[in-house]
Structure 1
Amino acid sequence: MSKKKILIVEDEESLLKLESILLTSKGYEVRGVANGRAALEGLEEDMPDLVLLDIMLPEMDGFEVCRRIKQNPVTRHIPVIMLTAKKTREDMERGREVGADCYITKPFKSAMVIETIQRYLSR
């Protein structure tokens, strides 16, 4: 069985490393990018099984990245988990509006993130 691929979109380098190490240790193939444009550029060539997406990103925010993923017929099936410090009800509602499958706020518990990822990848 091939490893499930996860694309992490996170501009904070320390968090990107932490998330990458965590997911790699659980047997996932991980690719990390630091901005929304880079996320969208590589999406179709190297199709991930799931996207872990921050909202506050340079160039293009996570809401716009998610909207574009979900509007594209080629990528709309990919689960998008927003992992963000933005906690307001309006932010969460906007996440749903752009098509996010799940919305997790920082600081997060690693076990909960892993559990959520496993739930979406087992569908």
Structure 2
Amino acid sequence: MRKILVIEDNESNMKLASFLLENAGYLVLKATDAELGIELAIKEQPDLILMDVQLPGVDGLQATRVLKENPLTKQIHIIAMTALVMAGDREKIMDAGCNG
């Protein structure tokens, strides 16, 4: 079964993402902050990471940079998730190492 790690601090967003992904047949790993997400990514080696951009403490873009610099996780595709998009955010997200 393919694993997707969802790193999201909003409980409603986490429930929705998990529900949709589990119903599509994926095993969903969950983290509510970047630190736990990084740990899970290293330990579980998911096939994909859905990364909230705005997280408490270490934000999603910083976490993406950490994961892309680590030889154990640099190959994992990361998709940014955010509800607050401003001009230039796509470039910042892609520059941090997200794949989309």
What is residue 82 of structure 2 aligned with on the other side? 84
Structure 1 outlier segments of 4+, above 2 Å = none
Shift of 1:31: 0.9
How many residue pairs are counted as aligned between the two chains? 100
Q: How does 1:48-67 map to 2 (within 5 A)?
A: 48-67=46-65
**Unaligned stretches of 5+ residues in structure 1:** 103-123
Shift of 1:90: 2.1
Distance 2:56 2:44 in 1: 22
List aligned pairs for 1:29-48, cutoff 5 A. Answer: 29-48=27-46
Which residues of 2 match residues 91-102 of structure 1 at below 5 A? 91-102=89-100
Bigger Rg, structure 1 or 2 = 1
| Structure with larger RCO (C-alpha < 8 A, sep 6+) | 2
With structure 1 as the length reference, what TM-score do the two structures score? 0.78
> Which TM-score applies when normalising by structure 2?
0.95
